[in-house]
Amino acid sequence: MPSIPNARVLIVATDGFEEWELFGPREILQRRGAEVVLASLKLDPIQATVHDDPGKTIRPDLTIDQANADDFDALILPGGVRNPDQLRLHGNVIALIRAFAERGKPIGAICHGPWLLVEADLIRGKTVTSWPSIRTDLRNAGGNVVDQAAVTNGNIVTSRNPDDVEAFTSALIDLVQSRPEISKIRHPHEIPA
């Protein structure tokens, strides 16, 4: 997998995220040189699940309200049942997802994560995949649902489950690399020359 040293990737999650669907892409992207930032509803540590059992915790770097799509090159929405189900009730989360979409920036959603794409009305006319139990929701939102490890349609990558993390992250990296402006973005932490 190629490196993406100039990329900044935002992960949005809250309690109940599926552990490997956050930690897996995060580790892969960091190994490839990307800066990965985690945003949540609050700055308190959030609790993963491994299927239905409690998993690791992780402390967010910033809140959703502090996150700005202009500061990042891509967005990742992990699954888990409770995580996206809670997040889709927050207008600021949906507004942030739409901001990434409006800018044509890559958005990756895995497992139950595509629920957030449904809430943001980004599924209509797209070919997508997900965890089997939400595929009817995706169809009802106008999506063409397929059963593949990773599906890219426009600026959106969707995936089915934790076993697909490598294919999912690889597809997202491909999308980030296809955007020539990534290497030209000046990030807030950079000092002007």
> pLDDT (tens digit, 9 = 90+) per residue, 22-79?
999 999 999 999 999 999 999 999 999 998 888 999 999 999 999 999 999 999 999 9
In a domain, 189, yes or no: no
pLDDT at 3: 72
Burial 177-191 (b: 16+ CB within 10 A, else e): eebeebeeeeeeeee
State how many domains the chain has.
1
pLDDT (average), residues 145-156: 97
* Catalytic residue of the set 90, 112, 187, 189: 112
Q: Domain limits at 61?
A: 8-180
29 in a structural domain: yes
Query: Is 41 among the domain residues?
Result: yes
Is 170 exposed, middle or buried, given 0-12, 13-18 or 19+ CB atoms closer than 10 A? Answer: middle
Sequence-distant (≥ 6) Cβ neighbours of residue 142 within 8 angstroms: 123, 124, 125, 126
pTM here?
A: 0.92
Select from 113, 121, 57, 48 the least CA-distant residue to 85: 113
Please give the structure tokens belonging to residue 69. 């799509």
Crossing angle, helix 19-31 and helix 165-177, to 10 degrees?
A: 40
Mean pLDDT of the chain: 92
Query: Distance between CA 174 and CA 90 in Å, rounded?
Result: 30
From CA 76, how far away is CA 89, in angstroms rounded? 18
189 among known catalytic residues:
no
Residue 1 DSSP symbol: -
In a domain, residue 68? The reply is yes
Q: What is the CATH number of the domain that holds 142?
A: 3.40.50.880
pLDDT of residue 68: 97
Mean pLDDT of 132-157: 97
Query: What gap in Å lies between CA 7 and CA 184, rounded to an integer?
Result: 10
Inside any domain, residue 3: no
Could you tell me if residue 147 is inside a domain?
Answer: yes
Judge whether 171 lies within some domain: yes
192 pLDDT more than 50:
no
Q: Is residue 44 part of a domain?
A: yes
